[in-house]
Structure 1
Amino acid sequence: MADLVRTWDKNGDGDISKMEMRTLMRSELNIKAENNEIDAFFMTMDSDGSGSLDLDEMKLALVKLLHLSISAVGEAAALRAKAQQLREKAAFVKQVAEAMRAYEQAELRLAEARSKGLGKTVEAKIGEKIVSKNMKIGDVMKKWDKDGGGKLDKAEFREAVLEMGVDATAAELDEHFTKIDGNGNGVLDAGEISVMLKRLTNAGLAMRSEEKELSNLSLSLRKAALKLQKDLDNRNAKEEKEAQEAQKAAAEAAKAAEEARAAEAEERAARKAAAIAKRLSDKEANDALVAARRKKPSE
């Protein structure tokens, strides 16, 4: 430490002046600060108010500078960590929002499928009714062929389908009947009815399968979205708790720093008073010695 003081003591008087402190802070320690800031720091370390720092005062100044440097490095690291934390949280919030949006879209598709039917075709609607009622092809043929003649005309087909509760117009049913009436004679025979019912059943099963797939997808997305939302809530709660604890710690640190500053000020005042008292004592002693020397020849 003494070597450092000698290195920084440009004029070699054994003390560090205010101007030397400015040069030291900027050139040796590479600290960017205004003159008034350096001077204010200098004055806090000049405990005896002499206008210069002796070896003991310089030791305290260097220790304080070291603490300030460590604190600045720590604050910079904390700010970088906080910035990274905010970036991660922003990405997580985006992930939660996307998960909720995907779930909502799946719910809309499922609701549409349940209310209108996936394909919106008459064939799919009839098939869905057959599948939902768990009807076998033979059961459907018996129910539709009321007279047991093995044939089904357009009116009978229309009546049978509407009795099942299929949401379709008479025109739509007539159009579908015409499509499956292979020979165009206006009547469906047993073979045509069997082929038609197989197609209807397959269409209904496909519709049911796709609806189930949508339902499973919606449920899966809902679980994922709720989990992410819960994680986000927990994260927010944790951050809020940490912020409260940090605020409390900062308040305690500020109080401790204020107490330390007060104690330091008292110490400086005591040292200054002691220095003044010493100077007065030295002056009194010197004055007494001078007076004694003056008095001696006359005796």
Structure 2
Amino acid sequence: MVKQLAKNGEDPISKMEFRQRVRKLLPKVDTIKIDALFVEWDKDGGGSLDVDELKDALRQCCESAAKYAELSANARSKITRLQERMAQAREAAAAMAAVENANVEIERISAMVNTSTEFRLGTLLLQKASSLKMSDIVRKWDANGDGKIDPDEFRLNVKKLGLVAPNFEIDRLFRDLDVDNGGDLDEDEVKQGFRDLMESASRDAARQKELRQTLSALCGGASQVPGLRMAFVQQEDTFYTQMTVRETLLFAARLRLPSSVSLIEKERRVDDIIAKLSLVKAAGTIIGDVKRRGISGGERKRLAIGCELLSDPQLLFLDEPTSGLDSFQAQQVVQSLKALADEGCTVVMSIHQPRGSIYNLFDDLLLLSEGRVMYDGTAAGAAAYFGSLGHLCPAGINAGEFVVDLVSVPYGSKDEEGEAHRRILELAAAAKQQAANGGLRFGRRASARDAVASTGEAASGNARWRRSGQVVAEAPVSALISALGGVALYPLVGLNPQPGKFRNFLMTLVLEGFASGALGLLLGAAAPTTDVALAMFPPILVLMIIFNGFNLAEENTPKVLRWLPKASFIRWCSEGLAVNEFTGLTFSCEGSRGPCAQTGEQALERVSFQKSTVRHAAMMQSRIIGACYGLTLLMLQRNRPKFLSVTPA
């Protein structure tokens, strides 16, 4: 390639030769830019390009082209999502302004393809502005003490800030900040460069927020937007405790996002969520449990939120996200949610004890007491509203604690309890009257309440389908465990070595494992608590053992309990194993005293198994399994949580 570029056939390429060759490839490129590129590639400053310099330069070009292609794909993905929002806005509000603003956002994102690293670093600097002083950056980042920051020091420290980017992108950013091309950054270059990055990121973030708010206002309520993306964060978090934060998010991304989204895009979305929820330091830490220490409670809750943000929801519901957290961790969680709301995501959360700083983050407040609406309006106006009704907020008490105490019922004294109930009824009547007069915003919020109720009911109703999925997923493992036990036991006991007998033996054990698991699911669904289910299991097993066919014949069972042997999977397992083993055997009666069974069939007749077959026993076990699964689904449907519907009078 070097010889092709050099006219004289020698290895080094002069500036004139470089300019002529590049102009043939790119005729519209300005000569000044070609010369600047030549100077950048000429590392030793010798005025010509040798083989090593050209190879390094071409390799960097390939890496940059690959990165720009990836950024272009990401931009196209963002453009597609914004185009979907444009269509939703057109249906909901029929406003061309939403389409125009979305087009502006699409063009801005397309223009940011080549500057995404600068935008992310500027955003990180804005987030760390309170703890990271510009005057101290050179001193803290300068590891070798020469008063300047070299490329290695720059690359290491921006990654510590949380910037996720390839090294060549960080190096390109370093060269952009290095105004005097000295190969390092002095204090003036750091201050000016970082200040420019933060100002640019702040302008872009403000513009994004403005566009999202405009789109949100034009799109209308949840019930008017078809295909609205919603997510629900439960109060109890369930994670694999041995996985790290990053592994958990990537695992959730690969499960939830469609296959059309590339793995690179999924990893990028995971990195964005880690940075957005301030989980950078905990990204490599395992989740942990009571036996092994892992992430904190606040980080765990933010991780649960992050798993739901992978699907880019427009409406996010949270059930008591601050429950079980100390005041600081609760503050961190709600601040993360506030940041999401500022970016255009509608956040609806239930909370019982908001501290003052948390309450001040709320935009709107729906206050309930015993199923009645006490207030529905701006959070900042709640104290003034109740003050107009004669309930003034005492000095030194934050509005959140005041309104919660005002609508709560103390159950210590009957007089206090009666007074609280009268106050609640008065406040409920006043709220209804204000709603009728247009003072409170019940009508505008009706669709949001319907969304809350429908989301809660959907979450509880989906429990039976999650349980069905669990049964299907665990079936191979359960079968393998039962089969492995049978494989180990069969030769030790010395049972019939015929292959058919061994196959029937394993099949019977596997069915018994499925039947016992199905019974456990049924008891868990039917019992009100786990303790009750655990207490019910032993006596049921004892009854099944008693009526297993060996201890008590079916014809001798009381009429009231005649159904029990038929419902005992232990009976059918024992019967199937006995018939499988004894059928076809012969015994010697020599030296025996009294009646002697000479064949296996005679032995089976003594325990009333003469009419049974292995197939019949397997069919009965299968019926028990099916009945238990069916009853479990019915119990889950019957015992699902009930939700109060809140509607204006």
Would you call these one fold, judging by a TM-score over 0.5? no
Q: Shorter-chain TM-score: which interval?
A: 0.3 to 0.5
Which structure is higher in RCO with an 8 Å CA cutoff and minimum separation 6? 1
